[in-house]
């Protein structure tokens, strides 16, 4: 299907790891996305906050190639044709296969992309330790804690070495304590690897803690209602939560979200 091209409203695509311009999506006769523009620069951590049902997962679906837009231009690292194959996607549920060991789960994304299992294992091996999975390679998902499952799912995603990581509510199903531990861990990992990340979250604190920029989506049909630059120094620690500037930004974003 040919997607009509509209002029970029964001900085030129060559400066971005990912850009979406003028995106329109209709599903079942329902306008779900209208005139959406967003971008992420290489190594930037960008979050999308939005009300439930506003069209966030649909937008990810366009990036993964699962949803066909009516109009718009989607570019990943300047490659207009690369939609779907140039992003690594971690869905809301970890989607680990229960009958495969941790190691065989984390190599799965590479295997699906045509990498032989032995080569895939060699690639993920050095990442098991930093992802806190060393010693658990031969366990099955049901034998892992919720946090470990999410780390395994994230490792499967990053091991694909795609220019952009799409994370759809990766910690949404975790208890509050594990969730905050995972947020801290992800911030530290991002500091180390500087992936380009597009994260969907409902959690304003999570978005502010992790991101360089936050897009707030309007209620459906999705468009950008606000864009907030988050310039707190890194590395970030939970002390940031008591910074009055953090509290002010949190209040501003909540106001944008719930009106
Ligand atoms: N295949 C479909 N046919 C018709 N409507 C759909 C389809 N898929 C999604 N929708 C509708 O599109 C809207 C946006 O859905 P989407 O899943 O993108 O929202 P979301 O912002 O990711 O929501 P949540 O935060 O709850 O996950 C919803 O109203 C949903 O009911």
pLDDT by residue (tens digit) across 181-218? Answer: 889 989 998 998 899 999 999 999 999 999 999 999 99
pLDDT of residue 228: 94
Q: Are residues 101 and 224 located together in one domain of the fold?
A: no
For the chain, what is the domain count? 2
What mean pLDDT is predicted for residues 62-80?
A: 86
Those residues with Cβ within 8 angstroms of residue 100's Cβ, 6 or more apart along the chain or in another chain: 108, 140, 141
**How far is ligand 1, taken at its centre, from the CA of residue 52, in Å?**
8
Structural domain of 240: 1-86+163-259
Return the biggest CA–CA distance within the chain: 52
Q: Is 57 in the pocket of ligand 1 (CB under 6 A)?
A: yes
Among 30, 52, 258, residue to substitute to test ligand 1 (most atoms within 8 Å of Cβ): 30
Of 123, 141, 161, the domain-final residue: 161
Q: Are residues 124 and 8 located together in one domain of the fold?
A: no
Return the higher-pLDDT residue of 128 and 12.
128
Q: Are residues 66 and 139 located together in one domain of the fold?
A: no
Task: Name the average pLDDT for the chain.
Answer: 88
Q: Is 109 in the pocket of ligand 1 (CB under 6 A)?
A: no
Q: Is 32 in the pocket of ligand 1 (CB under 6 A)?
A: yes
Q: What global pTM score does this model have?
A: 0.89
The answer to whether residue 4 scores a pLDDT higher than 70 is: no
Query: What is the pLDDT confidence band of residue 246, given thresholds at 50, 70 and 90?
Result: very high
Among 25, 29, 32, residue to substitute to test ligand 1 (most atoms within 8 Å of Cβ): 32
Query: What is the pLDDT confidence band of residue 84, given thresholds at 50, 70 and 90?
Result: low
Percent of the residues in the chain that have a pLDDT greater than 70, as a whole number: 91
Q: What is the ipTM of this complex?
A: 0.95
Give the separation between CA 167 and CA 245, rounded to whole angstroms: 26
pLDDT of residue 10: 46
């Amino acid at each position: 299907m040919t997607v009509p091209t509209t002029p970029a409203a964001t900085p030129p695509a060559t400066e971005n790891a990912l850009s979406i311009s003028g995106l329109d999506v209709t599903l079942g006769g329902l306008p779900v996305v209208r005139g959406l523009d967003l971008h992420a620069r290489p190594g930037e951590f960008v979050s999308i906050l939005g009300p439930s049902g506003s069209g966030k997962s649909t937008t990810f679906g366009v990036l993964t190639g699962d949803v066909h837009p009516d109009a718009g231009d989607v570019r990943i690292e300047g490659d207009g044709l690369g939609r779907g194959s140039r992003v690594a996607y971690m869905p809301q549920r970890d989607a680990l296969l229960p009958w495969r060991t941790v190691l065989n789960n984390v190599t799965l994304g590479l295997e699906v992309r045509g990498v032989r299992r032995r080569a895939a294992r060699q690639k993920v091996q050095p990442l098991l330790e930093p992802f806190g999975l060393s010693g658990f390679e031969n366990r099955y998902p049901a034998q892992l804690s919720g946090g470990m499952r999410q780390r395994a799912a994230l490792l499967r995603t990053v091991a694909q070495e795609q220019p952009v990581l799409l994370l759809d509510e990766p910690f949404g199903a975790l208890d509050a304590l594990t969730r905050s531990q995972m947020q801290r861990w992800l911030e530290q990992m991002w500091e180390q690897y500087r992936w380009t990340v597009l994260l969907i979250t409902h959690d304003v604190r999570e978005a502010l803690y992790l991101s360089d920029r936050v897009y707030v989506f309007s209620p459906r049909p999705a468009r950008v209602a606000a864009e907030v630059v988050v310039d707190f120094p890194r590395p970030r620690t939970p002390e940031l939560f008591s910074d009055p500037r953090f509290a002010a930004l949190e209040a501003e974003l909540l106001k944008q979200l719930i009106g």
